[in-house]
């Protein structure tokens, strides 16, 4: 089902799954550009080239398709069909291209939220094309609407402001930020007043009881010290590559061991500087996986 959220923010939402009112399972929400796909849009020219790319032009980040398929399957013996969603600043005109690429990668999903570029231009707000915090918070709150009791795992990168946006969203969901305090934090993050109004409307529709954001994974696209993410109270986990992510997800019992091994193989084959044993050792030291579960991966 394709529909546009009528909260004045230019989003287009594709949601293909329905939930019972008491659904409280896990849901995975992924950014696409530079988290799943290797997309280059550091310049305005690169940004404007995105809508005219073909599926064959898209390059998956090594190990990410294996992880996405593994998360969808779940960690049990059977296929669990765990809910999987994407959020992208690309326009909805890219839907067929993205879904074709996902089909090539064997990645199933339940929906995508797009930034509506045409709506952005019609509202005379071209700055929204590059603004991310307001967009991501609005998109995540919109996606949460049909599944308020779920427990989310969020996946992004540090090419823009995913960590800040996702953490602000988590504080809203956990009721750490409400009312005027939420508005102050969003303004401080650079959210414009009209976008703030959209977020306020969505916050007002949230029920009194909500699920949670269990973890936020941020792929280090830019060279930022991991210590930078200590400010997020342990909720944000910086990861250098898909091998680290796969090991961390295995440590949380979200993917099976063979999935983690396949993702790590893909990374090590592409980048010979990545040493699997060293990654495992570091993951244990950081508490991403227990010594026992790490031994299962090595063995």
d(CA 126, CA 58): 25
At 51 the pLDDT is: 53
C-beta separation of 177 from 171 below 8 A: yes
Number of domains observed in the structure of the chain: 2
At 47 the pLDDT is: 47
Domain boundaries, position 204: 2-239
Same domain membership, residue 217 and residue 288: no
Give per-residue pLDDT as tens, 247-257: 999 999 999 99
Same domain membership, residue 129 and residue 8: yes
Assign residue 99 the CATH number of its domain: 3.40.50
Helices (H) and strands (E) in the chain, counts: 12, 8
At 55 the pLDDT is: 47
Same domain membership, residue 202 and residue 118: yes
Q: List average pLDDT for each run of 10 residues in the chain, which is 299 residues long.
A: 58 94 96 88 50 64 98 95 96 90 96 91 78 95 96 95 97 96 95 91 94 98 92 96 98 97 97 95 97 91
At 242 the pLDDT is: 97
Give per-residue pLDDT as tens, 7-28: 578 999 999 999 998 999 999 9
* Contacts of residue 137, Cβ cutoff 8 Å, sequence gap at least 6: 165, 168, 169, 172, 186, 191, 199
d(CA 139, CA 271): 34
Which of 209, 224, 239 terminates a domain? The answer is: 239
At 25 the pLDDT is: 97
């Amino acid at each position: 089902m394709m529909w546009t959220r009528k909260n004045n923010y230019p989003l287009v939402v594709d949601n293909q799954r329905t939930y019972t009112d008491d659904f409280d399972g896990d849901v995975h929400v992924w950014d696409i550009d530079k988290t799943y796909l290797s997309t280059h849009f550091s310049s305005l020219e690169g940004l404007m080239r995105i809508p005219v790319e073909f599926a064959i032009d898209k390059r998956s980040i090594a190990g990410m398709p294996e992880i996405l398929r593994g998360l969808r399957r779940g960690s049990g013996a059977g296929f669990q069909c765990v809910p999987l969603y994407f959020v992208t600043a690309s326009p909805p005109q890219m839907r067929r291209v993205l879904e074709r690429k996902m089909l090539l990668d064997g990645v199933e999903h339940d929906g995508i939220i797009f930034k509506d570029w045409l709506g952005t231009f019609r509202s005379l707000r071209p700055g929204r094309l590059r603004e991310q915090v307001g967009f991501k918070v609005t998109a995540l709150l919109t996606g949460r609407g049909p599944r308020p009791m779920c427990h989310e795992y969020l996946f992004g990168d540090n090419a823009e402001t995913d960590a800040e946006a996702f953490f602000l969203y988590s504080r809203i969901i956990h009721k750490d930020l409400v009312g005027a305090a939420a508005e102050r934090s969003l303004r401080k993050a650079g959210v414009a007043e009209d976008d703030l109004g959209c977020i306020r409307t969505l916050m007002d529709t949230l029920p009194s009881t909500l699920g949670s954001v269990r973890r936020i994974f941020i792929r280090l696209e830019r060279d930022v010290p991991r210590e930078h993410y200590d400010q997020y109270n342990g909720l944000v986990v910086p990861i250098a590559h898909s091998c680290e992510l796969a090991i961390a997800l295995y440590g949380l019992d979200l993917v099976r061991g063979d999935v983690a091994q396949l993702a790590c193989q893909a990374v090590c084959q592409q980048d010979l500087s990545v040493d699997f044993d060293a990654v495992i050792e570091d993951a244990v030291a950081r508490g991403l996986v227990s010594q026992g579960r790490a031994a299962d991966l090595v063995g």
